[in-house]
Each structure stands twice: as structure tokens, then as C-alpha cells.
Amino acid sequence: MKTAKILFVDDEIDLERLLKQRLKKNIRDNQFELLFASNGKEALEILKSDRSVAMVATDINMPEMDGITLLAKIAEIDPTIKTIVMSAYSDWQNIRNAMHCGAFDFITKPIDFEDLVITIFRTLEQVQQVRENLNKLQQAQLLLIQSEKMSTLGQLVAGVAHEINNPIGFLSGNIEQATEAINDLIHHLQLYQEKYPDPGSDIEQNAENIDLEYLLSDLPDMLSSMKMGAERIRNISNSLRTFYRGDTGDKVLANIHEGIDSTLTILQHRLKANNERPAIQTLKDYGDIPLLKCYQGKLNQVFMNLLVNAIDSLEESNQGKSFNEINAAPNIIAIKTELSQDEPSVVIKIKDNGKGMSDEIKSKIFEHFFTTKSIGKGTGLGLSISRQIVEEAHGGSLTCTSTEGEGSEFAIALPIELNNS
């Protein structure tokens, strides 16, 4: 158990010295960290500034704000904090009032310190259980919300992709036929020019007006560009369908490489060059891995979150650099897949050469709502949801290694189920 912060609230001057003396072993063993306030008002200021306090032990009768009022205020700040009241035997009415107001337990004065330690451990155990249950509930709610959003978005994308594919198929097929027909017409026109080199002044003037020579050379290029554009739209549509088609309630056999490739296609608008930087290079080192039984749509979401974070990190590391400086040391996202050497699992590594992270930030990146991005750019949920998807839904692991100034690498390990086939 990590060190628990306990706030003692009492206006007795000697209590702080006495508690530090009698609980010194617990303090030395990093079981307790003691904080002190002389009244309820001071206690509230501490609780507002330090959200890691687990427990409050308070007297009832104090100046400025009494313990009963403090109890109600604590519940508003953090309902998971448990409070014990300390009062004399003769103060039973106030003790009953405190218990009715949510106090977890009570200690009578003069304090029996053995009883105090037992009560503290019992209270901290309750706090830990409540916070673990609350965390599980929050995780379940986040997954439920995200699952619903992904399901709705998946249906929307599938519909849009279907509607796009129909006219694109029509367009692509007609471009092929139009290209053949126009090539035939060009060939036929060229034969006329060879057989009838002097067609007359009217025809020559018209050929000059429409710049016939340019049209004959440029028209095939125009058709080729149209064909490439139609094919690109088809690829994007197919990538969207691949990205979302596995968003079902059951595990399916999926090609991990297809999922990564579809995600990269969807993110192409962020990877390509712009006025401020060259294109971000993506280096793929795909190993010989089997189809994996997984929740494909959810895994694609993990790939999306990790790749977006990598792009964001690279763009932040570019700040203050010129186009030529970035070009000399290009932005790179390296993606590697392989079979684990230690256990039957597939490992996917996504690495960038961006700004990296300090150890302090790295220790918090998987926490709900933690983000280093500017307001409106990040929710602080991407990595926490990604870890839940990998660890809870797939029984795998999601880890991060990072060096400040050099970049970060996220590694996903997914177990290969025995009944993969």
C-alpha cells in the first residue's frame, strides 16, 4: 500500500507533536504522511489544494468552523475521503450527529493510540476499496460511452462508405471506357492529319483556336488524374470500412496489418507535407504474424489513439524549427509487428522521434483525463481507454518507454488465443 495522507484537524496545540511522536514508526515506514489544521476552515484549504488526502481525523468543537460543518464540506470536495471524529466520552450527542453526517468512525479522548492505529488502518482499507470500486465504475462508464460512440460512428461510416462506393464505382468504370474511347478518337484524328495535311483554312483556324496540339497531349493526362482521384477516394472508403467493420460485440479473426494500414490512410491528411513541415515518414516493419482473434474495431481505435499522439508529439517538437531544419532531421513514425520471444503473443510497437516525456509525465499518461495538450485538443481519455481495451478486453498489455528530447515508443502485446482458428 502506498503512503496514505491523513489530515488531523484539532485546535489542541500539543496534538501535532504527540501524534508525530506516537506514530513515528508508521511515518518512518512510509505508511502514513500526516497533515495538520487547527480548524475546519484551514482543513478545507488543504483538501482543496491536495486531492491525494485519503482520510481526515477531526475534533468536533473548534473555532471558525466546527467538525460537523467540516464533514458536510468534505463530502462536496471528495466523497471518497473517509472521516473519523475525535471527541470526549461526554460528547455523545455530537458524536451521534457526526455519525449521522457521514463520519466513518470515532475515537474518544484521551486518545488510545493503539486503537487509533487500528481505526486508521480500517478506515484506509475502506477508502481504498471505495476508490477502487469508483475507478472500476468510471472505467466501465467510459468504455460504455466509447463503445456507443464507436458503434454509432461505425454505422454512419459504413453507410457513407457504401453510398460513396456506388458513384465511385460508376465513375471509375466510365473513366476506363472514356479513356479508351478518347484514345481511339485521338488516334482517328491523327490519321486524318496524316492523310489530309491541308484540311483548309477553317479547320486550321479552329485547331489553333482550341489549341488542338495541347489538347491531344494533355487530355490523356487529365483522364489519368481523374482515374487516380477516383481510386484514392475508393481506397479511403475501403479504409473507413476496414477501420469500423470489426466494431462488433464479438471477437473476430482479424489482420492486424490491415487495421494499421487503414488507420494510416484515414490519418493521411495529418501525415502529408504542409507549409510548415515536410511529410511525416512512416516506416513499416511488418513481421510474419498470424490472424488474431480480437475486437477489431476497438483495436483500430487503439492504433488511431497512438498514431494521433505520435503525430501531435512530432508537431510539438517542430515548434521553433524551420522547414529546412525539420527536413534535415525528418519526423518519423516507425511501426513494427513481431511475435514475442517470451510467450505466444503478437507485439505491435509504434515509435516516434518527437519530444519524448519526462518520468513524471510518463507515470501519469494512462490516468483518466490527464493530458499535456492544450485546451480543446485533447480529452485525456485516449490512452486510458486504449489501455483498458488492450488489457481488460484482450488480456494484453500496453506499455510506454520514453526519453525526453528523443521520442516515445508504445508497445502493445496481444495474446494469441489457442482457438485462434
**Could you tell me which of 335, 334, 157 has the C-alpha nearest to residue 256?**
335
**pLDDT higher than 50, residue 48:** yes
**Separation between Cα atoms, residue 314 and residue 356, nearest integer Å:** 9
**Could you tell me the three cell numbers for 94?**
455530537
* 371-378 contacts, C-beta under 8 A, 24 or more apart: 373/312, 377/312, 378/312
pLDDT tens digits, 115-170? 889 999 989 888 888 888 777 776 666 665 565 555 545 555 555 555 566 666 66
* pTM, to two decimals: 0.52
Query: What is the average per-residue pLDDT within 237-259?
Result: 73
Q: What's the pLDDT at 152?
A: 45
**pLDDT higher than 80, residue 228:** no
Binned at pLDDT 50, 70 and 90, residue 172 comes out as low
Q: What's the pLDDT at 98?
A: 76
**Separation between Cα atoms, residue 41 and residue 48, nearest integer Å:** 11
Binned at pLDDT 50, 70 and 90, residue 243 comes out as low
All residues at 6 or more sequence positions from 109 whose CB lies less than 8 Å from its CB, including other chains: 86, 87, 88, 89
**What's the length of the chain?**
421
**pLDDT higher than 70, residue 418:** no
Query: What is the average per-residue pLDDT within 321-345?
Result: 93
Binned at pLDDT 50, 70 and 90, residue 390 comes out as very high
**One-letter amino acid for residue 8 of the chain:** F
Average pLDDT, the chain: 82
Q: What's the pLDDT at 63?
A: 86
All residues at 6 or more sequence positions from 395 whose CB lies less than 8 Å from its CB, including other chains: 415
**Separation between Cα atoms, residue 266 and residue 353, nearest integer Å:** 21
- For the domain 249-421, what is the CATH code? 3.30.565.10
Strand bridging mode 53-59 / 4-9: parallel
Phi, psi of 290 (to 5 degrees): -80, 165
**pLDDT higher than 50, residue 249:** yes
- Domain boundaries defined on the chain: 4-111, 144-245, 249-421
Query: What is the average per-residue pLDDT within 56-77?
Result: 87
pLDDT tens digits, 88-122? 755 677 777 777 777 888 888 888 888 889 999 98
pLDDT tens digits, 301-322? 889 889 989 999 999 999 999 9
Query: What is the average per-residue pLDDT within 16-40?
Result: 90
Q: What's the pLDDT at 2?
A: 78
Q: Is 28 exposed, middle or buried (0-12, 13-18, 19+ CB in 10 A)?
A: exposed
**pLDDT higher than 70, residue 350:** yes
- For the domain 4-111, what is the CATH code? 3.40.50.2300
Whole-number CA gyration radius for the chain: 33
Q: What's the pLDDT at 56?
A: 92
19, 32 contact by CB (below 8 A):
no
Binned at pLDDT 50, 70 and 90, residue 419 comes out as low
Handedness of CA 112, 113, 116, 121 (dihedral sign): negative
**Could you tell me which of 35, 101, 51, 106 has the C-alpha nearest to residue 73?**
101
Range from 375-379, 383-387, 398-402 carrying the lowest mean pLDDT = 375-379
Name the residue with higher pLDDT: 372 or 45.
45
Torsion of CA 228, 231, 237, 242, to 10 degrees: -120
